[in-house]
Structure formats: C-alpha cells, structure tokens
Structure 1
Amino acid sequence: MNYFDYAATTPVDRESLHVYQTVSEEFWGNPSSLHDIGGKAKQLLTKCRERLADMLEVPAKGLYFTSGGTEGNHLALVTLALSRQGKGKHIIIGGAEHSSLHSSADFLTQWGFTVTKIPLTSQGMIDMDILEQSISEETTVVSIGHVNGEIGTIQPLHAIKNLLVSRNIFLHSDMIQAFGKIDIREFTSVVDCFTLSSHKIYGPKGVGALYINPALDVSPMIPGQTHEDGFRGGTVNLPGIAGFVSAASICRDTIETLHYTRLRTHFLSQLEERIPGSFTIYEGPEHAQLPHVIGLGIHGLEGQWLMLECNRRGIGISTGSACGAGSMPNTMKSMGVSHRAGKEFIRISFGRDTDVDHVNSLVVALSDIHGKHVTSLT
C-alpha cells in the first residue's frame, strides 16, 4: 500500500525496534525493585530520561514517561488545573486540539471548572485577539498545540506565552505533531509543560513523555502513585522507553524539511493540473506551515467515501485525527468551515519513505475518482 497517513502513526524504525528487543531481553527487571535486576533496569531508565532531556534541553527532573500522547495530555491539563484551582477555575484550550484535551477539559467541568475554546482563523492559526479577550483573573491554564495535526499549521507559542507571562498562567502545549519534524528546543523553555509521543516519530507504540517544569508548584493528578516520581501508576514500559529515545535521537539527527516541501509542491501542482479549481487547500502562512501535512477537500466528494475509494486502489489517506475518526474534524469546526465542506476533508501526510512516484500515484487516483464522480453526475 502507498501510505499517506504518517500523521496518524509511523512504522517502527529498525534501530528502535532492535533497541526494544534488546532491552526486553537484557533489562527485563522492574525499575522500582530494589534487587540488582531491578537496579540494572533503573539505571537504564535514568539514562533514557537524561538522554531525552538533553535532546530537549530541559531538566530531566521534570520529564515523565507515559503510555503515549493521550495519557500525557490528560495528565498535563488535569494536573495543572487542579494544582492551581485555589487561584481560579477557568482554563482555555484551542478549539482544534486533539480529542484527549477536549475530553480532559470536559472532565474538569465536572469539578466546577469553566472552559473556553479558542477558534482558529481561516488560515488555521489560533485567533490571538479572542485568546487575549478570553483571559480573566480566574484563568490558570492555557493549552495550545504546537502543530495542528490535521492541516499542519504551526502556532505562535512565543506570542501566546507573552500574553500569559505577566498573568501567572501556565502554558501547556501538545508538541506531538511537531516533535521530530521541526527543532522544538527553542520552544521547550517557552512553555511550562508539553507532551510527546513515540509512535509519531518511528518509535514503538504505547509510550510517550510529559514534561512539567520542576520549578512549578504542582501535585500529581492522583496522589499516592509509586512510579515516575508519583505522577503515574503502573510499571514503566522500559523497552518502549528505550526504543522511543532511540527514535528521538535518530529524528533529531535527520530533521529536514526540503524533502517534504518538494513533495508538497509537487502534489499540489499536479493536482491543480489534473483537476483545476476542484479542491480547497486548508493551510497557514508559509512561515507557519509544516510541509509534511496537507489538509484539503475535493469539491463534491465526501472525505470518508474518498478515503475508502483510495483504499480500494491500495492508497492510505485519512479524514483527520485517527482518534476522532468518523466525525467532522475539530480543525474544520474551529475554522468555521461549513458542515458540507468539513465532510469533504481529507488529510495527506508524508513520511521518510514517501517519494515522487508515490505522490504521482496518489494524484492519479484522486483525479480518477473525481473524474468518475463528475461523469456520474452528467
């Protein structure tokens, strides 16, 4: 299959998989156990934490390994909000955030919190005017994702932080779609808390990381837990963590955008040549657009039907976040796109192995499906 859904998940890198297997065989002890076998595992866990923290240029003390992005986002938003509820019970999230943050926000409303969701502009950027107007004396936490997972827009974290710093408001960012694709080190010190995931960067599934600035006065969401310095329960997935850190190291050393920019340019030019004026691209300004992800709608074709037709031709695309499959994408809702246009949405996302021939096959399939649809209407 020609795969164009790398924003949903990636295949495991061969080196990462080798590390996973080696650690499973040689470091199988529980890092919390006090005997030598557990101590050996604990030493490796500490090295993994320090190595990832060094890549991110953050203190290792604030880095916690999780079961993935969803758990990391739950822990981040709920931990920060509950820790600051003495100051206020108002939190702000982006309207196009991952479903895990929407569900976390909904959970907090049961504890008396109010939630404001900030829409995106027509270019997929967080509406800074509405964000500023929404901040009140009760606001304690703002959560804005770094890179939108459905159309690839890059949000201005520096500008957002400038709105919050004098108001003593925590800033969390879901950096899952940014990590491994752009250098996030200039942003890790800007935010108070961020979330990462392994399987988006060619690492194993079921593992991720959460960073909370250790200088912050916060308490674990559920007290009395015995792992990850009390921030989560359950024996840590040491093979997955080691594989994750290995994949992160590879990504750090191979970050480049030219390959993806060329693929994006080629895809859009070829699509325009074959079905001119028959599609809409949802993207941000050039300086704020990740080239790896293309969000578009082909006029008159429902996205889910188009996805299935592509699948029949051996091509894998998506209709947005895999965690929100079956519904109109949060990004389209947040941008104010009409329901009809939102149902036409599809997402194309490129990976390391995508080449021009793959892109050409995708363009041919999309234009063929579109052409047959137009013919059926005449």
Structure 2
Amino acid sequence: MKYFDYAASCPLDQEAAEVYIKAASTYYGNSSSLHDIGDQANELLEYSRAQFARFFGVSKDGVFFTSGGSEGNFLSIQTLLTSKEKKGRHIITGMAEHSSVLNSLEKLRQAEWDITMLPLASDGRIDVDAFLDAVREDTVLVSIQHANPEIGTLHPIEEIGQMCRENGILFHSDCVQSFGKMDLSTIAHSVDALTISSHKFYGPKGVGAVYLNPALRWDPYVPGTTHEGGFRPGTVNVPGIAAMAAAAEKAVSRLDVFSEHYKVLRKEFIKSLDSILKKCTIYEADLPSTIGMRVAGLEGQLIMNEANLRGFAISTGSACQVSMQTPSKTMVALGVEGKAAKEFIRITLGRETEVEDVRQLGEALVQIVRENL
C-alpha cells in the first residue's frame, strides 16, 4: 500500500521513537513529584519546553503541552475567553476550520455567543477585507487556521493579527497543518495563541503543544488544575513530549530540503495526469505537500475506494469529517455546491514518498477516471 494521507497522520520517526523508549524507561517519574526521580522527569519536560519556545521564537513561559490538536484548540479558545478585557460575545472564525474549532464554537453558540463564519475567497484564503467587515465593537475573539488542511493554502495571519491588535481582539490560530512545514516564528508573534499536533510532523500520537501569550492573565478552564501551569489537568506525558521535540527538531532543521522534495513530487504528479487534466480542478497550494483536487463527474468517495483497491491510500478531506460522507468544508467555503462539492479528493505527500510513487498514483487515477466516466 502506497500512503498519500500524511495530512491525516504521519508514521513515527525512528529517532523520535528511540527518544520515547528511552524517556519512558529512564525518566518514568511523574514530573510533578517532588523526589529526585520526579525532578529528572521535570528537567526533561522543561528542556522540551525550551526547545518548542525556540521553534516558535517565544518565551518558554508561554508553551504548554496537550494531548494533541483538538484539545489544544478547545483549551486555547476557552482560555482566551477568560482573559478578554473588552466586553462582548462575538467571535469570528472561518467556515473551513477544523472540526475541533467549529464544534467548540458551536458549544459557545448554544450558550448565546454570536459566531460569524467567513467563507474562503476564490484563491482559497480568508479575504482580509471580508474579515475587517465582520469585525464589530463586541468582537472579542478570532480563531483562523494558518494552513487549510485540504488544499494547503495559507491564510494572512500576520495581517489579521495586526487588525486584531488594533481592535483589542484576542487571536487564536490552529497551526496543526503548518508546523514542521514552515517557520512559525513570525506567526507566533502575530497571535495570542496557536496550536500544534505531534503526529502531523512524525511525532507520536496523543501529544501536542499550545503557545499562549504569557502577557495575558487567564484562569484555568478546569478549576483547581495545577498541571501545565493550570492550562490542562492530568499527568504530563513526558516521553511523548520528548519524542515530539525530537521529531520537531528534525522537521524544523530540514524545512527547505523537505519543501523542495514536495515541490518536485507535486510537479511530477500533476504531469502524470496530463491525459485527464481537462477533467480535473487542482487547487493552488502554498504548502506543496498538499494536493486538493476534483474530477468532474466522479465522487471523491468512489475515487478513494478505487484507489484503495489498487493499493493507494488517499482521502476525501480532513480525517475528522470523512466518516460523515458530507461535502468537504473547504469546498463549501469556496462556494462549490451540489455534486461538485463531493468530487473532492486530497493527496498529501511525505518524506518517504518517491517520484515513482506519485507517477504510479497518477497512472492509477487516470485508469479510474477512464473506467468510470
């Protein structure tokens, strides 16, 4: 089976796996325990925290570890709301945000918060003017993802962040899809909180991190919480965090190498579709590892199933929504309607992907299209 669903999850990096085993067997104490074994675990935890502070270009006082992107998004939103200084119950987000963000905001809507959801412009990005038009006197929070997980476009986080500062609005960005693929240091200084998830950049599942501006005064979402400075309850996953830091170190140190690799693969893949390109819509991407596309007249579910039978693992969008068999949120946000919205497929590339792999996938898709149209 050839794997083309790296945006959903990556295999664990071998060096990160070795770090996990060593940490779990050597630094096994509870990092909150006051004895020497607990201190050793805490030292490893704080070393890892300092690493992520360096990756983000921020103070380590603002780095908190979580169980992953979904929890990180939820806690970031809830925590920022406890630190707001202006009055109001209006929040702005995007229509194509991750389900963990949209579900968190839906819960707030049920509690009588007012939520504005922005569509995507024709280029697949949040339009800055449309965002500014949505800002109101009672807007207190914005949550806009950095990278779209389905077509790989980057939203104008720095511009939106400047507007939020000028209007006294707190700003969260889901950076799960962009961390490990690009430098986030400028993004971290444009937001009040950002979220990442380990298994998106070859770290272990079940661990992630949040940057929360240390200048903010906030209250724990769960009263009485002491772990992670009150940000989240529960024993800290020190081995997972150490392994995540090792995976992040490799990803960040080789950003340019991996980016060039993906650009070559993307070009070769599109070239392999030459005979059916007139039937395809391939969306432009800022992240070359993400290829979002539609084949006119064929449902994405059919193409995905046929590709699977031929030994290729692709997807029809974000892993948190595919089981619902609903249209891609990105397609809906772009104004693609009806049957066309269900034509979407996503192909994402990884470090292990080779040129011959994408050529073979392209050949398989050409065969699927010819057999079904």
TM-score, length-scaled by structure 2? 0.97
Matches within 5 A, 1:187-266: 187-256=187-256, 257-266=259-268
Distance 1:85 1:214, change over 3 A: closer
Aligned-residue identity in percent: 47
Q: In the TM superposition, what whole-angstrom CA distance separates every residue of 1:178-203 from its partner, at most 9, and x where no partner exists?
A: 10111111211111110011000000
Are residue 107 (structure 1) and residue 104 (structure 2) matched? no
Counterpart of 1:176 in 2: which secondary structure? coil
Match of 1:55 in 2: 55
Note if contact 2:272-2:363 (Cα within 8 Å) is conserved in structure 1: no
Matches within 5 A, 1:1-378: 1-84=1-84, 87-256=87-256, 257-271=259-273, 273-283=274-284, 289-325=286-322, 326-374=325-373
Q: In the TM superposition, what whole-angstrom CA distance separates every residue of 1:82-105 from its partner, at most 9, and x where no partner exists?
A: 432762111111111100000110
Note if contact 2:80-2:218 (Cα within 8 Å) is conserved in structure 1: yes
Note if contact 2:292-2:345 (Cα within 8 Å) is conserved in structure 1: yes
Per-residue deviation at 1:110? 2.8
Note if contact 1:146-1:154 (Cα within 8 Å) is conserved in structure 2: yes
Note if contact 2:162-2:190 (Cα within 8 Å) is conserved in structure 1: no
Q: In the TM superposition, what whole-angstrom CA distance separates every residue of 1:240-299 from its partner, at most 9, and x where no partner exists?
A: 00000000001111112211111111211221x221311111225xxxx11110100111
Counterpart of 1:140 in 2: which secondary structure? strand
Residue identity in the other structure for 1:342: A
Distance 1:344 1:171 in 2: 33
Per-residue deviation at 1:112? 2.3
Note if contact 1:92-1:118 (Cα within 8 Å) is conserved in structure 2: yes
Q: In the TM superposition, what whole-angstrom CA distance separates every residue of 1:112-162 from its partner, at most 9, and x where no partner exists?
A: 211001110121010222211110111011111111000000111111122
Residue identity in the other structure for 2:185: R
Aligned alpha-carbon RMSD (Å): 1.2
Q: In the TM superposition, what whole-angstrom CA distance separates every residue of 1:208-235 from its partner, at most 9, and x where no partner exists?
A: 0011100012222222112100111110
Counterpart of 2:269 in 1: which secondary structure? helix
Note if contact 1:264-1:294 (Cα within 8 Å) is conserved in structure 2: yes
Aligned length: 369
Per-residue deviation at 1:111? 2.6
Residue identity in the other structure for 2:353: T
Gaps of 5+ in 1: none
Distance 1:50 1:371 in 2: 53
Distance 2:252 2:127 in 1: 31
Distance 1:275 1:57 in 2: 45
Distance 2:14 2:211 in 1: 27
Note if contact 1:81-1:89 (Cα within 8 Å) is conserved in structure 2: no
Distance 2:223 2:112 in 1: 20
Distance 1:120 1:281 in 2: 16
Note if contact 2:194-2:212 (Cα within 8 Å) is conserved in structure 1: yes
Note if contact 1:78-1:108 (Cα within 8 Å) is conserved in structure 2: no
Gaps of 5+ in 2: none
Counterpart of 1:30 in 2: which secondary structure? coil
